[in-house]
Amino acid sequence: MNIHEYQAKTLLRRFGMPIPEGRVVRSPDEAVSAARAMAVPLVVVKAQIHAGGRGAGHFAHDPAGKGGVRLARTPDEVEQAAGAMLDHTLVTRQTGPAGRVVRRLYIEAGCDIGRELYLSLLVDRATGRIVIVASQDGGMAIEDVAEATPERILKDSIDPSVGLADYQARNLAARLDLHGRSIRAFTAVLRAAYDAFVALDASVVEINPLVVTPAGGLLALDAKMSFDDNALFRHPELEELRDENEEDPREREAARHGLAYVGLDGTIGCMVNGAGLAMATMDIIKMEGEEPANFLDVGGGATQERVAAAFRIVLSDRKVRGILVNIFGGIMRCDIIAEAIIAASHETGLHVPLVVRLAGTNVELGQDILSKSGLRIIPADDLADAARKIVAAVREEGAA
Ligand code: ADP
Ligand code: MG
C-alpha cells in the first residue's frame, strides 16, 4: 500500500525525521488560510498524488505550464497555484499519460537549499536484508542517475541481527561528502528512516531530495513510503491512510473479496485457479500475440460467491475484449465455477467472447451446466487450445 507525501512526513516526523512545517488542504481557501497561519515568507504548494516526478510534470489542461510543485510568496500566488492544481489532472513520468486527478494539496514552508541528496531504504529480496541507497545527486529521478552515473549510487545493507550501526551512517555521510554537524544530522536522519521502516513494516522509505541547508542542517523535502500489504493487519492505523482514489478500482474490489488480483493493461481477462497456472495462462496468451488484462487466482477453496465476484470484476473491466477461464479442479469443483460464471454473467451481462477450459473434479457436471446455460461459451480442451480460441475470437470480433 502506498500513501501520500504528507502522510509519510507525519509518520516519519514521529521517528525523529527533520521535516518542514506543512498542512494538508482540499480547497484554494484552505490553502490560503494554511499559508497565512504558517506565517513564513515562502510556501511550496504541492500536489498530493501517489506518484513522483510532480515538480517536472504538467497538468493535462496546460501541457506547457508549471508542474505539481510550485513556490508561492503571497496569498494571491497560493490561491492561484491551488486553483490551478485542485481537481485537475497531473501527468508525470510515473503516472503514465492518463495522469492523476489532484484532490489534496500540501502547503509546506519553503526552505533554503544548499545541496539535494537522495536517500532510500528498501528490501533487497536477494539477500533478504534492508538496503540503504544514497546519492549526492538528489532531486532528480534516481533511475536516471543509476543509468548515467552508476558510480554515484551508494549502497549498504543492514544486518538484521545487528540493526543499523552508527558507523554505517557515518561512513555513508563521509561518502556523501558531508562534514561537521551535517554528519550527525545524517546519522539521525538514517536512524529515523530505519526505525520507521522496521516499526511500520515498510517496503520502501524514500527521501528525495534530502536537503542540506546552507547552515549544514538536513531536511526531508519529499517523502515516499510503501507498506507490505501482508503486514497491514499489524497496523490498523496505517489502513486508515489508504486513499481509494489512488488505487485501481479493480484491485480494490478484488481485495474486498480476498482475491489475488493484479490489474494489467492488456485486453484478455483471465480467471484461473492457482498462481502458477495463472502465470502460465498469461504467458500463453502473450505467446498467441495478445496481452492479459489481469492476473487473477481465485484460489483452491473459493465459494461460488467469491468466484462470481472474481468473474464480475473481469466482466466489468472496460479494457477486456475477451475472457479466458482456465480451471484445473482439485479442491475447486468445476460445477462451482460453472454456476458462478452463469450467476455473474446474468447479473452483469456477457458482452465479450468467453472461452472456458475445465479439467478435474466434476468436469462433466461443470461442462453440462455451462452448455445448458444458453450463454455463448466457447469450450476448450487444453490450455493451448483455450489461448488460441480466445485470441481468434477477440480478433474476429475486432474485425467485425
Ligand atoms: P517530486 O519528486 O514529485 O517532483 P518534490 O517534493 O521532490 O516532488 O519536489 C520537487 C522539487 O521541489 C524538490 O527537488 C525541491 O527542489 C523543491 N521543493 C520541494 N519542497 C520544497 C520546499 N519545502 N522548499 C523548497 N523547495 C522545495
Ligand atoms: Mg521528490
Mean pLDDT of 8-31: 98
Does residue 400 register a pLDDT over 90? no
**C-alpha cell recorded at residue 237:** 492505523
For residue 14 the three cell numbers come to: 514521529
165-to-8, 131, 171, 177 alpha-carbon distances in Å: 24, 13, 10, 19
**How large is the average pLDDT for residues 294-317?**
91
Mutate to test the pocket of ligand 1, among 43, 44, 69, 117 (most ligand atoms within 8 A of CB): 69
Residues 262 and 383 in one domain: yes
**Residue nearest (by alpha carbon) to ligand 1 atom 22:** 110
- Both 63 and 169 in one domain: the answer is no
Whether 11 is covered by a domain: the verdict is: no
Render pLDDT for 197-249 as a digit per residue (tens, 0 to 9): 999 999 999 999 999 999 999 999 999 999 998 899 999 999 999 998 898 88
Residues 155 and 284 in one domain: no
Work out the average pLDDT over 266-294: 96
Answer with the one of 109, 124, 154 that is the final residue of a domain. Answer: 109
Are β-strands 43-47 and 100-101 bridged in parallel, bridged antiparallel, or unpaired?
Answer: unpaired
Length of the chain: 400
Question: What pLDDT does residue 247 have?
Answer: 87
* Three-state DSSP state, 39: coil
The 89-91 sheet, strands edge to edge: 58-59, 89-91, 100-101
Strand 100-101 and strand 89-91: the pairing is: antiparallel
Q: Which residues pair with 100 in a beta bridge?
A: 90
Domain identity same for 271 and 217: no
pLDDT at 256 over 90: no
Mutation pick for ligand 1 pocket among 44, 136, 218 (CB with most ligand atoms within 8 Å): 44
In the chain, % of residues over pLDDT 90: 88
The CA dihedral of 105, 106, 109, 113, to the nearest 10 degrees, is -100
Averaged pLDDT of the chain: 95
**How does pLDDT run across 80-113, given as a tens digit for each residue?**
999 999 999 999 999 988 899 999 999 999 999 9
The pLDDT tens digits for 338-366 are 999 999 999 889 999 999 999 999 999 99
Task: For residues 140 and 190, give the distance between their C-alpha atoms in angstroms, rounded to a whole number.
Answer: 20
Domain stops at, among 63, 92, 109: 109
pLDDT for the residue numbered 204: 98
CATH number at residue 296: 3.40.50.261
Nearest to 134 by CA among 196, 197, 176: 176
Q: Are 145 and 118 in contact, with CB atoms under 8 Å apart?
A: yes
pLDDT at 252 over 90: no
Domain identity same for 211 and 254: no
Give the domain CATH number at 49. Answer: 3.30.1490.20
Place 258 in a pLDDT band, splitting at 50, 70 and 90: confident
Contact 136, 228 (CB under 8 A): no
Is residue 273 located within the same domain as residue 385? Answer: yes
- Would you say residue 2 lies in a domain? no
Beta pairing partners, 115: 212
Q: What is the CATH number of the domain that holds 149?
A: 3.30.470.20
- pTM given for the model: 0.83
Question: Mind listing the pLDDT tens digit for each residue in 176-189?
Answer: 999 999 999 999 99
* Annotation marks residue 206 as catalytic: yes
Nearest CA-CA partner of 344 in 381, 383, 380, 317? 317
55 and 158, same domain (yes or no): no
Quick one: 231 and 258 in the same domain? no
Distance of CA 302 to the CA centre of its chain: 27
Strands (E) across 92-152 are located at: 100-101, 105-109, 115-124, 129-135
Distance CA 267, CA 252 (A): 19
Query: Buried b / exposed e across 173-198, counting CB within 10 Å, b at 16+?
Result: beebebeeebbebbbebbbbbbbbbb
Is the domain of 393 the same as that of 255? yes
Q: Which atom of ligand 1 is nearest to the CA of 55?
A: 4
- In this predicted structure, the answer to whether residue 25 has a pLDDT above a threshold of 90 is yes
| Residue 76 belongs to some domain of the structure | yes
Task: Output the nine-digit C-alpha cell for 180.
Answer: 561537521
Task: Tell me how many domains the chain contains.
Answer: 3
**Cis before 209 (ω within 30):** yes
195 and 15 Cβ atoms separated by less than 8 Å: yes
pLDDT at 96 (0 to 100): 84
Atom of ligand 1 nearest to the CA of 208: 7
Among 216, 239, 262, the domain-final residue is 239
Residues 390 and 376 reside in one and the same domain: yes
236: which 3 cell numbers?
A: 490498523
Convert the pLDDT of each residue in 361-394 to its tens digit.
Answer: 999 999 999 999 999 999 999 999 999 999 999 9
- Tell whether 267 and 354 lie within a shared domain: yes
Instruction: Tell me, yes or no, whether 366 lies in a domain.
Output: yes
CB–CB of 225/19 below 8 Å?
A: no
Ligand 1 pocket, Cβ-based, cut-off 6 angstroms:
20, 44, 46, 52-56, 69, 108, 110-111, 113, 116, 139, 208-209, 221-222
Residue 386 lies in a domain: yes
Q: Which residues surround ligand 2, an ion (CB under 5 A)?
A: 208, 222
In a domain, 244, yes or no: no
pLDDT at 52: 95
- Asked if residue 4 is part of any domain, the answer here is no
From 6, 118, 194, 261, the catalytic residue: 118
**Does one domain contain both 123 and 256?**
no
Which residues constitute the domain of residue 37?
Answer: 21-109
Residue 383 lies in a domain: yes
